[in-house]
Amino acid sequence: MLTIKCSRCKSKLYKYYKVGKGKVIKCHKSRIKKQFGIYRDNGNYKCKCGNIIGSDEDSYIKMNNKAFIYTGTKEG
């Protein structure tokens, strides 16, 4: 399980169950386990500080790779 955090304010955004190796480019919504300070605004997902984390693509979030950091281990 990964913990996705905002790169600007370091707030936790959500926990994500990642399948497979490699970078976090998309986050499938069905694998987002727990949401903290993230909200949807105008087709984007934002941190409460206003940082745009990614865009809403229906079944997944297309991540803005400069906007987030993560901790934890990749599984699968």
Which residues of the shown chain bind Zn ion in the complex (CB under 5 A)?
Answer: 6, 8-9, 11, 47, 49, 51
Rounded to whole angstroms, how far apart are CA atoms 40 and 17?
Answer: 20
Q: Nearest distance from residue 22's CB to Zn ion, in Å?
A: 24
Looking at the Cβ atoms of 11 and 55, the one nearer to Zn ion is: 11
- Residue 66 burial by Cβ neighbours in a 10 Å radius (0-12, 13-18, 19+): exposed
Q: Nearest distance from residue 51's CB to Zn ion, in Å?
A: 4
Looking at the Cβ atoms of 25 and 49, the one nearer to Zn ion is: 49
Compute φ and ψ for 43, nearest 5 degrees. 80, 0
